[in-house]
């Protein structure tokens, strides 16, 4: 039986998970793939800490170049993370004709186009199933299962940290800081959580998925990104009273000549299956022309779910090797010559519905003044709610709009803030519905 030799760069949580699966699932993998997957070498700056994995004959070394320059290694797994040294290691590995598997969404979103070119030049594979949605086979679905479909839209919960925090606020009425602290205690959030809670981790994943769905270059810089720091129990309670749930969504939609790509807190109705995705779970709903809606649901992070996705890439590449094929599947789902620089819609051009909450002064004419400014900017109000009076004399005014243009809404809010009618910045949450009228 042919032996395929594997090296791992980085022996942290994910690297240890991959090593564990390669060792403990050895017989299962051999029976399914028809070849021996031999974990030859692991490189990490820490070779002393016990990761709880029986490595057997696998070497644990300090120098990554021992793997990159080893002519006997066929597949290299990058689990270091980050966009500096990991990028150089991957480029060096590709130049050395090694197939590469990575879960590094930040690197792919920022430099993926360059890595794809390097893989093409050297006629090797670059695989990244674990980069988006953990154990959910999103990459395989877009690149293979839905190959005969035009992907009309994608809506996804792709960050377990944010979803846990929003779930805790919703269920327990916790404030953001307490919910974040709980997420950190449970290991869902990093000590420095800004990459997650400010929406950037989700944007990295959306940039990758857009490319696979629409045959476009990976484009991170033009994606609109907002996080969840300003979501309060008050807004979640108002949303519930209107029949909505607040989720941090990655939204991608195709239009004739451009793509919508945005990440922000979003109100969705109870009829949306994503409204039931709670705690640290992830999910994506893909709307395609032939299949209609397809939903994937699962753990978006964690040692073993991520390692499972990495192993699926290893298996695919191993099968290519034993069949004598190279680059059987295009890395981004389309042959490189068919990848196009499709523009992303400017956020100002977005049309959607809006939830607006103002802290208004408690004196006559405030509501009519706010409504008047909105009306002057072509914003039609669907409903207005004015609930109770706060102890400081301010009154919360909540409005749900009909479909309006983002440019109009932002212009109107600037005008309202110049009046003496409101205190502080208004809360703006976009509403996403399956059938907006």
Q: How far is it, in rounded angstroms, from Cα 182 to Cα 163?
A: 13
Which residues, 6+ apart, have CB-to-CB distance to 404 below 8 Å? 351, 352, 353, 354, 378, 379, 380
User: To 10 degrees, what angle do helices 176-185 and 160-172 make?
Assistant: 130
The verdict on whether 205 is a catalytic residue reads yes
User: What are the structure tokens assigned to 317, written together?
Assistant: 């590449």
* Count of beta carbons in the 10 Å neighbourhood of residue 254: 18
Q: How far is it, in rounded angstroms, from Cα 115 to Cα 94?
A: 8
DSSP label at 345?
Answer: P
Question: 298-321: buried (b, 16+ CB within 10 Å) or exposed (e) per residue?
Answer: bbbbbbbbbbbbbbbbbbbbbbbb
Element (H, E) at 27: helix 26-33
Q: Give the largest CA-CA distance in the chain.
A: 84
Residue of 20, 98, 205, 247 with catalytic role: 205
> Could you give the 3-state DSSP secondary structure of residue 399?
strand
Q: Do 8 and 58 form a contact (C-beta atoms < 8 A)?
A: no
Question: 160-192: buried (b, 16+ CB within 10 Å) or exposed (e) per residue?
Answer: bbbbbbbbbbbeeebebeebbebbeeeebbeee
CA angle 355, 249, 196 (to 5 degrees): 115
Q: How far is it, in rounded angstroms, from Cα 369 to Cα 1?
A: 78
User: What are the structure tokens assigned to 153, written together?
Assistant: 């839209």
- DSSP per-residue codes, 176-193: HHHHHHHHHHTTSS-SS-
Q: Do 163 and 277 form a contact (C-beta atoms < 8 A)?
A: yes
> Could you give the 3-state DSSP secondary structure of residue 194?
helix
Q: Which of 83, 150, 91, 137 is CA-nearest to residue 110?
A: 83
Q: How far is it, in rounded angstroms, from Cα 245 to Cα 238?
A: 9
Looking at the annotation, which residues are catalytic? Answer: 205
């Amino acid at each position: 039986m042919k032996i395929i030799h594997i090296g791992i760069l980085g022996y942290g949580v994910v690297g240890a998970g991959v090593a564990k699966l390669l060792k403990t699932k050895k017989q299962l993998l051999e029976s399914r793939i028809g070849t021996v997957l031999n974990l030859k070498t692991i490189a990490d700056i820490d070779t002393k800490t016990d990761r709880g994995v029986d490595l057997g004959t696998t070497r644990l070394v300090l120098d990554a170049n021992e793997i990159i320059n080893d002519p006997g290694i066929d597949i290299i797994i990058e689990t270091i993370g980050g966009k500096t040294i990991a990028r150089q290691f991957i480029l060096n590995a590709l130049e050395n004709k090694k197939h590469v598997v990575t879960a590094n969404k930040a690197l792919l979103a920022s430099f993926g186009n360059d890595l794809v070119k390097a893989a093409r030049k050297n006629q090797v594979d670059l695989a990244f199933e674990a980069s988006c949605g953990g154990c959910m086979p999103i990459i395989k679905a877009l690149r293979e299962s839905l190959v005969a479909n035009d992907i009309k839209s994608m809506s996804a919960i792709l960050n377990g940290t944010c979803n846990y925090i929003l779930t805790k606020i919703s269920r327990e009425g916790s404030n953001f800081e307490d919910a974040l602290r709980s997420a950190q205690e449970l290991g869902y959030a990093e000590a420095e959580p800004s990459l997650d809670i400010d929406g950037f981790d989700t944007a990295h994943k959306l940039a990758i998925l857009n490319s696979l769905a629409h045959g476009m270059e990976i484009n991170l810089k033009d994606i609109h990104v907002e996080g969840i720091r300003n979501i309060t129990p008050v807004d979640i309670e108002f949303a519930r009273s209107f029949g909505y749930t607040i989720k941090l969504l990655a939204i991608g939609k195709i239009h004739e000549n451009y793509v919508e790509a945005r990440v922000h807190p979003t109100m969705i109705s109870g009829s949306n299956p994503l409204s039931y995705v709670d705690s640290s779970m992830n999910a994506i709903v893909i709307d395609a022309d032939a299949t209609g809606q397809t939903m994937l649901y699962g753990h978006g992070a964690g040692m073993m779910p991520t390692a499972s996705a990495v192993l699926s890439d290893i298996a695919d590449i191993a099968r290519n090797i034993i069949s004598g094929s190279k680059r059987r599947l295009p890395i981004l789902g389309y042959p490189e010559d068919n990848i196009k620089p499709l523009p992303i819609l400017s956020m100002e051009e977005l049309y959607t519905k809006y939830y607006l909450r103002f802290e208004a002064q408690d004196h006559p004419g405030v509501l009519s003044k706010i409504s008047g400014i909105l009306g002057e900017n072509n914003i039609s109000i669907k409903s207005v709610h004015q609930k109770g009076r706060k102890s400081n004399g301010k009154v919360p005014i909540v409005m749900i709009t009909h479909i309006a243009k983002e440019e109009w809404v932002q212009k109107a809010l600037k005008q309202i803030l110049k009046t003496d009618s409101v205190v502080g910045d208004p809360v703006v949450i976009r509403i996403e519905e399956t059938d907006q009228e």
